[in-house]
Structure formats: structure tokens, C-alpha cells
Structure 1
Amino acid sequence: MQAWQVHENGEPSEVMRLEEVERPEPGEGQVLLKVRAANINFPDALLCKGQYQVTPPLPFTPGVEICGETEDGRRVIANPVLPRGGLAEYTVADAKSLLPAPDSLDDAEVAALHIGYQTGWFGLHQRAHLQAGETLLVHAAAGGVGSAAVQLGKAAGARVIGVVGGPEKAKVAAGLGCDVVIDRRSEDVIAAVKEATGGRGADVIYDPVGGDAYRQSTKVVAFEGRILVIGFASGAIPTAALNHALVKNYSIVGLHWGLYATKNPKLIPHCHQKLTELAASGAIKPLVSERVDLADAAGAVQRVADGVTTGRVVVVPGLNARQQEGAGA
């Protein structure tokens, strides 16, 4: 079978190689899955660079989130067990962690439903306790993680302000349902948020960026507001000024979604049921901006690493062949 292999750490486009490898053999408690679609996440790029908290042995296959098919034909959501990730024709996953794929979504959308939307749901509801009528500010609102938070915020009845970088991403954020869109490249984010909220600020701030975005968040968080620390896509990990949190009376709330798998695993299928219901009602729908063939995965991972994509980029093995068949029909 074909699988992308990383033999040394570096930029994805430089170190990922498409190779013929043996089909993986599932270990105890694992299942073999045919990859129907694999969503590219920022951690896939970090894995290639050797900068992720998990460091699989070399060589490894990236791909931490897929829509897969079991040997008995069930469509499922899975997180492949590294080092045999999902950017391949087949992978393996823990049988107990499989979740049923919602019928309302196609393969690519299913592949993009799990990590980003679970992170958003746990962050907004389990950690920040977002309430209807509150104002939610989402940094990188047109990205994969941010777009999920925007949709979940709207579904919860919040007023959503999206911060993006550039006019094209501003259009995407507006299409997602943001009530206010701020282009950080052409606008003063702090002034724009204060104007949009009548000087009050945002009740909940969803920050997967870190760096300067976090600094801006501390200037526009409302009284008794909550800043959700989701990640550091900017590469800069800020240092919190706790005296500032004290005098402004706001909370800094961390979220490591992966911990729930060991600390409170029952919440993950509960969250999935909520997401399935929201998807069935049309309240959420993963924004898949690109669908690429397995052969084009390295370039796609690089674009995600470079921050030039919107929504989700999903790898669909056999896509080129299907498109050629369709063109010839």
C-alpha cells in the first residue's frame, strides 16, 4: 500500500515521502481501517518538524484524524495510532476509541469533525461555560480550529466576533456566520473589538494562536471574561501577567482536549453525540476548503504549516482516479 513516510524531521514538503509499505497489522485491541479521508491538522506539521509533544519513532506516517472504514463496512471516525498515521491507504486505531460517522456528512466532512469540533465544544462549554447572549471572540476565525469555534458559538446563541488575516479570510469568516469580522492586517484589533462591544469587551476569547493575539485578548476581555488558551499556532508562547488578570477580574483557562481520553473519557462520546445532533440539524458543518489526492498530501501539509489555508484541507485517497473516471464518463 501507499503511505507517506517521514525519515527525518523538517519542513513537511521536504521530509515527507510517498512510499510503498506493508499494510499495518493491528495489535491487541486495535482494528485495521481503510482510510476514506484524512483531515490535515496543524499537529501533523509539527510532527514532521519534530516539534509536537508526541515524538513517534522514525520513520512514521503523519495523519492524526480520519474517516475510516472497518473490515465489516462501517464508516467511523478514528485517531490513528502513531507511528502508523492516517496519510496512507490503510491505518490502525484503538477499537474502543472509534466513533460512528454522522450520516449527514460526507467522508471529508466526517474526517474534519472530530479534533477541531471536540476541542471547540470542550473549550466553549466544559471549560468556559459560554452562555447564550454572551460575546465570543475567535482568533484565526477562518482556520480549521477557529471555523469550528465560530459555528459552535453561533449554535450556542453567542454573538461572535471573528479575527482574521486578510480580506479573503474575512469573507470566509463572514460566510461562517460571524456577526463582526476584524481583519488584523488592516484594522486595530483592540480598537475594533472595543467599538463592536461598546467598550465592554468579549466574554469568552478563543485563542489558538498565542503570541500577539493573546496580548490583544488581555486588552479586550470583559469583566469576569474567560480567555481560552487553545494552542500556539503563531509559534510564540506568551507569558501571562497574573497581576493583570487580578486587577481586571478575568480568567485564563487552559484546554488540552487529549487529556479527557484518560481523565474523563465518558465525555468524549457524549460530546460526539452533541456534535452529531448539531450536524444533523445543519447548525455545524465542517468547512472543507480543499480535497486533495493522497499523492498531493505533502504540499497540503506544508500549506497548513504555512498558515495560508482556510477551513480544512482533507486528503482523499483515490480522488484523482475518481475525477479522471468522472471526466471520461
Structure 2
Amino acid sequence: MLAATYTRTGPAAEVLSVGEVTTPVAGLGEVLVRVVASGINPADVKRRGGWRGMDMEHELAIPHTDGAGDIVAVGEGVDPGRIGERVWMWNAQGGYGEAGRAFGTAAEFIAIASRQAVRLADALSYAAGATLGVPAMTAYRAVFADGPVEGQTVFVSGAGGAVGHYAVQMAVAGGARVIGTVGSPEAAAHAMAAGATATIDRRREDVLARIMDFTEGQGVDRVVEVDFGANLELDAAVLKRNGTVAAYSSTSNPTPILPYYAFASKGANLRFIQGFAIPEADRLAGERMIFELAEAGKLQAAIGATFPLSEIAKAHERVERGGLGNVVVLTGGPS
């Protein structure tokens, strides 16, 4: 089969290549998936690039943790009735700080544990399915980890981003009103189309003043935070008493200094979200919500760019440059 591989970390154009590798076989408890679409997340780019000294975990790696396709064979212990099922996949390579799997979804086929191949709603394309494993599940965990949000105000930092876009939709579906920060008029329109009640241009407006004005001085019940280190003082200021900050990244400052009493005086709850480590019961609940929202027409994926497998280096570079929508590599068949 064709697959993208790398044997050392470094710039995408220097280390990624596409060629023939051995087609996997479904083992005990596994399914063999013909991959149609492979989603790229910042974590995949960081792993390939050697972010913060991250080293190779295997001699050869096929990148990407998310993907979607069709089950074409099953291993021992798996219901043969799953053959032909459209699925999306999660955590194909493992999380940070663990060796995980060598072979991800940037290939024509993948053998993966049956439970990591989840039924894909008919309403979603394969390309959309390739954006669910990290972005949608991280958004679900960030929005609902501390219970229902009905009647609450949720502040989504980075509402135009991959996780933020899903978080807006899920919070709205849960009965919350959503305020989101954005970095451009295009991102504002994107977030509003997802259901946000209001957006704030973080580059041109006073975010704190706008949030407090919008909430009549009350602040927000929950914060879904894309960059904890950059925004922790703002989050502490806008949070209601006993509110929650659910942070899923702190890329700009991986070692932030915490203003303890700014949070402690409000009895704040700080939750760190790791999409690779969602508890089993919550993961299953998230999978159900994703399916139900998609079938009801209430969950839309934002695909910013697609690339053929042969241009995977360009796809990684697109993720590094940033931009609206998820980046997906098409590995074969209709997307």
C-alpha cells in the first residue's frame, strides 16, 4: 500500500516521503480500515517536527492520529458484521509522552483496535469524519466535562479554530449562549455561522470590557481556552464565582506562571483537557453526541484545505501557517 512515512523529526519537506509499505492485517480485536481521509492536527505536526525536543518513538512512523474510511476486514473477536461500515478513527498513534503506535492514518490502510473505529454518521463525509477524533472530541470534553451547560454563558477562546468551531456548536446544542474571540472578520463569520451569539476581535477590541458588557457585569460560567498561558489573566477576570476554565493547549507559553489568588478568590475550577486521555465513559458519551448532532444536521465540519497523499508535506505546512478550517489528506476513494 501507499503510505506517508518519516524516520527522523524535522521540517515537513525534508523528512516526509510517500512510498510503498506492507499492507497491515487486522489482528486480535482489530479492524482493517481502507482509509479515505486522514486528518492533520497540531499534535501531528509537532510530533513530526520534534516540538520541544520530542524524539522519534519508532524507527519509522506513518503520521496522523485521526482518519475516516471503510472497514474491509476484521480480526479475531470482532463481529464480521462490521465489514463495510463507514467509520472515523481516534488516537491512531497515541498521546504525548507515550510510545504509542508507529503507524497512523496517512496511508491507504490501517489496522486499528475495533473500539477506535467509530461508526460515522451518514450525514458526514469521510473528510468530515477525519476531523472528529481530536478536534470534536476535545471540544466535547472541554464543554461538558463539568456537566450540562443549559442556560449558561460559555466563552470560547479561538472560536474560529478547529476545536473552537466544534465547541461553539456543541455548547449551543447544549443550550448555552456563546461568546467567542476571533482574529479576523472571516473567523467571526465562521463562528457566528456555527451559532455563536457574539464574537470579539481579540486584535482590535478590549476583550474583557466586551465580555463584561455582554454579560452585564456577571462574567461567564465556563471558558474553553485554546492558549492558557497567553490568556490566564483574562480568563480569571471574566470568570464567575465557581466557574470553570477548560484549557486544551498553552502553546505560546508551555510553562505559565499562575496568578493563584485571581482564580482562588472565585473558587475557580481549572481543568486541563487532553484529547488523547478522555475517560472511557466520557469518550463514549462524546461519540454518541457527535453521531446524534450530525444526524440531526446540527454538527458541521469545517474543511479548510484538502491535499492528495503525494502532497502531505504541503498539507503539514498549511497546518503550520494556520488558517480557517481543518486540513485533510485524501488517501483514496471519494471523500
Cα separation, 2, equivalents of 1:64 and 1:92: 13
* Counterpart for residue 222 of structure 2: 204
Q: Which of 203, 225, 249 is equivalent to 1:185?
A: 203
Matched residue, 1:327: none
Per-residue deviation, residues 219-245 of structure 1 (Å, max 9, x unmatched): 211222111121224354423222221
Q: Match for 1:75 among 86, 100, 103?
A: 86
Could you say what secondary structure the match of 2:51 adopts? Answer: coil
Of residues 275-284 and 191-200 in structure 1, the stretch that sits farther from structure 2 once superposed is 191-200
Residue aligning to 2:96: none
Aligned to 1:122: 141
Whether the 8 Å CA contact 1:33–1:68 is kept in 2: the answer is yes
The equivalent residue for 2:158 is 140
Q: Secondary structure at the match of 1:259?
A: coil
- Shift, 1:62, TM fit: 0.9
Residue 55 of structure 1 deviates from its aligned partner by 5.3
Tell me if 1:229 matches 2:230.
Answer: no
Aligned pairs for 1:21-100 (under 5 A) are: 21-51=21-51, 56-71=57-72, 72-79=83-90, 80-81=92-93, 82-100=101-119
Alignment counterpart, residue 327 of structure 2, candidates 313, 319, 322: 313
CA deviation digits over 1:194-233, x for unaligned, max 9?
2222222211000122221233212211222111121224
TM-score calculated relative to the size of structure 1? 0.88
| Distance in 1 separating the partners of 2:216 and 2:13 | 46
Query: In structure 2, what residue type is equivalent to 1:178?
Result: A
User: How far apart are the structure 1 equivalents of 2:288 and 2:177?
Assistant: 24
Letter in 2 for 1:63: H
Structure 1, unaligned stretches of length 5 or more? 324-329
Aligned-pair CA distance for 1:267: 3.5
Alignment partner, residue 304 of structure 1: 319
Q: Is the 8 A contact 1:128 1:204 kept in 2?
A: no
3-state SS of the aligned residue for 1:87? coil
- Counterpart for residue 76 of structure 2: none
Distance 2:146 2:56 in 1: 30
Q: One-letter code of the match for 2:271?
A: V
Paired residue for 1:326? none
Aligned match of 2:121? 102
**CA 1:11 to 1:277, structure 2 compared with 1: closer, same or farther past 3 Å?**
same
Q: Is the 8 A contact 2:229 2:250 kept in 1?
A: yes
Percent of aligned positions that are identical: 28
- TM-score in terms of structure 2 length: 0.86
Task: Give the match's secondary structure for 1:299.
Answer: helix
1:135 CA displacement: 0.9
Q: Which deviates further from its counterpart, 31-40 or 18-27?
A: 18-27
Asked if 1:276 corresponds to 2:277, the answer is no
Tell me if the contact between 2:7 and 2:56 (Cα under 8 Å) persists in the aligned partners. no
Deviates more, 1:143-152 or 1:66-75: 66-75
Alignment gaps of 5+ in structure 2: 73-82, 94-100
Q: Do 1:99 and 1:269's aligned partners in 2 also have CA atoms closer than 8 Å?
A: no
Q: Is the 8 A contact 2:42 2:319 kept in 1?
A: yes
8 Å CA contact 2:247, 2:272 repeated in 1: yes
Q: Give the Cα–Cα distance (whole angstroms) in 2 for the partners of residues 197 and 240 of structure 1.
A: 25
The structure in which a higher percent of residues are helix is 1
Aligned pair count? 316
Superposition CA RMSD, Å: 2.2
